[in-house]
């Protein structure tokens, strides 16, 4: 039975990953700051696998270390580490407080670093494993009114692709997940000022409807099995990414117009 730790497992993409892993027969630690939410997900996941809930604050390196160490102590190894926990702020950059900047950096960057620090050396020692870091299309492309989020998700993409080049020598795979808007509670959180998340994320990423988190989770597990570097969903997002690579300044101009439209609508 493979072992896995999923941070941010109490909702959204994390909860979907827990469900998919249990259905696939894995032993999963559903780690979340909200223990009640993690417990609800763990108890509702069905399949040949098993899920247990654990309260983990990813901004605490000790908490993440203890969660991974407990799995290794009990099962002898950690096969899969999903660094998924994340937050967002939507609003004008000048409206962000330094506390908000620090909070998103702590969760979205340091939270991933803590997961890598806890799992990667153990995976090297055991002769293999796989790390999955949840980023976003915001980690591949950039638009304003979510500057802090884009900053952190670009860091996660860079960390993941760099680590992948090192991990290959140790049979440790690394995959970074970069979906467009996913139908999770994060779409309706983190708003600052007059801007509203769900419509902003859908229109800004050129998708008509958000990605189903359970569909995304199954796609991620398939990518892990195939040792893919990047997961981009849905198809429209992959097209936008390719256009951005070929014509970055064209995409930048389009993003500038989109931001101007959002400001006009909010005024």
Q: What is the pLDDT of residues 9-33, one digit of tens each?
A: 999 999 999 999 999 999 999 999 9
Q: What is the total count of domains within the chain?
A: 1
Q: What is the mean pLDDT of each run of 10 residues along the chain (267 residues)?
A: 97 97 98 98 97 98 98 98 95 94 98 98 98 97 93 98 98 97 72 60 65 96 98 92 94 90 80
φ/ψ of residue 227, rounded to 5: 55, 50
Domain that holds residue 193: 3-266
Strand order across the 230-231 sheet:
50-55, 27-32, 3-7, 80-83, 129-134, 172-177, 230-231
Helix axes 248-266, 197-204, angle to 10 degrees: 150
Distance CA 252, CA 257 (A): 9
3-state secondary structure at position 179: coil
What one-character-per-residue DSSP string does 222-248 give?
HHHHTT-SEE--SHHHHHHHHHHHH-H
CATH number, position 109 = 3.40.50.720
30 forms bridges with which residues in the sheet? 6, 53
With contact defined as beta carbons under 8 Å apart, do 108 and 7 qualify?
Answer: no
Only one residue has tokens 């189903």, namely 212
Which residue numbers are catalytic? 149
- For residue 3, what pLDDT is reported? 98
3-state secondary structure of 161: helix
pLDDT at position 206 is 62
DSSP 47: S
Find the angle CA(113)-CA(106)-CA(103) to the nearest 5 degrees.
165
Q: State residue 195's pLDDT score.
A: 55
Which pLDDT score, from 0 to 100, does residue 192 have?
A: 53
């Amino acid at each position: 039975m493979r072992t896995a730790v999923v941070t941010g497992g109490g909702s959204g993409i994390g909860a979907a990953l827990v469900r998919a892993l249990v259905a696939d027969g894995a032993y999963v630690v559903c780690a979340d700051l909200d223990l009640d939410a993690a417990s609800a997900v763990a108890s509702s996941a069905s399949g040949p696998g098993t899920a247990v809930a654990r309260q983990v604050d990813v901004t605490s390196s000790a908490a993440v270390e203890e969660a991974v160490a407990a799995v290794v102590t009990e099962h002898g190894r950690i096969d899969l580490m999903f660094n998924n926990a994340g937050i967002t702020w939507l609003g004008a950059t000048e409206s962000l407080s330094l506390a908000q900047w620090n909070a998103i950096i702590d969760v979205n960057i340091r939270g991933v670093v803590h997961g890598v620090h806890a799992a990667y050396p153990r995976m090297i020692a055991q002769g293999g494993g796989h790390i999955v870091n949840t980023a976003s299309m915001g980690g591949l492309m950039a638009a304003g009114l979510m500057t802090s989020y884009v900053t952190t998700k670009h860091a996660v993409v860079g960390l993941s692709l760099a680590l992948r080049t090192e991990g290959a020598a140790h049979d440790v795979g690394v995959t970074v997940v970069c979906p467009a808007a996913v139908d999770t509670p994060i779409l309706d959180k983190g708003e600052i000022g007059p801007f509203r998340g769900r419509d902003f994320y859908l229109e800004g990423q050129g998708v008509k409807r958000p990605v189903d988190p359970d569909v995304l989770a199954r796609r991620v597990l398939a990518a892990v099995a195939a040792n893919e570097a990047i997961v981009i969903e849905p198809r429209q997002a992959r097209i936008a990414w390719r256009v951005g690579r070929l014509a970055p300044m064209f995409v930048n101009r389009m993003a500038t117009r989109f931001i101007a439209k959002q400001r006009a609508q909010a005024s």
